[in-house]
Chain A
């Protein structure tokens, strides 16, 4: 039976992996978003409101929060269609900061058992007690997170093998080439935005219920840049890439005592150096191809 500290780290890795996968999906389509933390935050608030204030079951709240995040992601996708590159990045950054500031203004409290609960602006949103009310242990909750994470990973592996996944990669490689194939980049960009918003949303609802307290400041731009950096470190060639990035940051840098207070210095430097020497991460497309061919040879021999 692993102790709670280790379990907390493991469940953190699972939740942050979801937002990292969301940023990764957009990276694959060639869009750098500094704003995935907004969808994480929207879903964290929406999911927690659904269980705590409305008494919904958790799984329904999870779908509700993520669905709302996906919907808003789709709308933002439509709005930002005409811009790309750094303009897209800064627009998503501006949007995410707007959401964070709006959460400061969000007050929606209901009296439950003689106590006011619900989001209260800058005070945050505490008493998200679903885990305690249903006697769910840290281990069980971690398993729930990983069940969903595995489903998402499975879905993304299937996606990468599908025609849609191929189009996403082509879009990331060359928009003009995509258009000459008779494909409309617009539709695929919106599709990618919606899927990415949904995946980030899954992480958000889990996050709110795991920590039982959320405040707008959590969903600041640092969270977004980290989730982006995970894919860039781990690699853009496979869905395992972002997970490697998360494991390096949370599993290694954040958990080692000596590095306390120096994590950003090491991590920021690591990202900068990686961008110079391996611009598409450790497991980039070429290396993934090489590993696959080695495995294939090994099985054939």
Chain B
């Protein structure tokens, strides 16, 4: 029982990283109804820029974070132009496949930039272990969990309390009507993508500085974990992303404890597969799926 509770605590901590990644996915999906599968590799390239600054210029945490975020935005813009803006608005699947193809491209760019496979990423959090009773947690993970919740609140305020946020929601609800209201849809979608890249850059920075290293596998990892967390919690839902991330973290931590790394990954995919079959919209995202289905059926 102690093991199980400790696993759940660990899971919550790892899950906050997944939740951060899922926030990016859910925002793109909520606004565009599309999946951006090259989200992970964009973050990875951003992290490489951060590592480069760390190794060559300065070990100032803010500077590294800034470099990571800026590079992630740059790659994010490339992906948006090529896979989203250039493709017709109703061809949602084409965007997904295209972003997958760009994923391969970015992975190989990363391999060339990082021929040595593993590079140090600065650890900026003071790492101490906090004990309470028989349980313990690492302080950098608690910081990450709190920052995730803070970002969720900020994002919520932005979406529901500001004019650009209102514009974003109206484009998401009904692109045609928002165009009639004088909203420039392309600019708003671009803004959403930039926002998602900022979120992704921050997520990458936080996760990697807890891991203290960056490898070319981070892109694949980030895309899959973020995608699974988003689909578990709810497509296009912000609380769903947090919920899905934490749930995924808890399941994985327990599967790892009882079965090892292969079982951990297997449990994540199994959970995703079952969820997609039983509830394609995730735990709290059924509405968006129902709307899409209705659009398909033209009723």
Contacts and interface: CB of A to CB of B under 8 A. Distances in A.
B280 A228 contact: no
A267 B100 CA distance: 12
A177 B273 CA distance: 29
B112 A85 contact: no
A86 interface: yes
Interface stretch (A91-99, A159-167, A203-211, A292-300): A91-99
B102 A272 contact: yes
Given A94-B273, A102-B266, A279 B91 contact: yes
Given A90-B272, A94-B273, A32 B97 contact: yes
Nearest to B82: A272
Given A95-B273, A176-B297, A272 B92 contact: no
A186 to B, nearest CB: 15
Interface string B64-82: 0000000000000000001
Contacts of A229: 97, 101
Interface size class of A (residues with CB under 8 A): 35 or more
B105 interface: yes
Interface string A154-186: 000000000000000000000110000000000
B97 A268 contact: no
Given A86-B96, A225-B104, A97 B280 contact: no
A32 B277 contact: no
A8 interface: no
A222 B104 CA distance: 8
Interface in B109-123: 109, 111-112
A110 interface: no
Contacts of B35: 86, 90
Contact of B276 (A91, A105, A268): A91
Contacts of B157: none
B247 interface: no
B276 A83 contact: yes
Contact of A104 (B93, B94, B228, B262): B262
Interface stretch (A48-56, A236-244, A258-266, A283-291): A258-266
Contact of B277 (A83, A232, A267): A83
A187 B297 CA distance: 19
Contacts of A84: 296
B298 interface: yes
A79 B227 CA distance: 21
A82 B277 contact: yes
B107 interface: yes
A3 to B, nearest CB: 29
Given A97-B265, A97-B269, A261-B112, A32 B93 contact: yes
Contacts of A105: 262
A265 B93 contact: no
Contacts of A268: 101-106, 108
B241 interface: no
Contacts of B286: none
B98 interface: yes
Interface of A: 32, 34, 79-80, 82-87, 89-91, 94-95, 97-98, 101-102, 104-105, 175-176, 222, 225, 228-229, 232, 261-265, 267-269, 271-273, 275-276, 279
Interface of B: 34-35, 82-83, 86-88, 91-94, 96-98, 100-109, 111-112, 224, 227-228, 231, 262, 265-266, 269-270, 272-273, 276-277, 280, 289, 292, 296-298
21 contacts: A32-B96, A79-B277, A83-B280, A90-B35, A90-B276, A94-B228, A94-B272, A94-B273, A95-B269, A101-B265, A176-B296, A225-B100, A229-B97, A265-B105, A268-B103, A268-B105, A271-B101, A275-B87, A275-B101, A279-B88, A279-B91
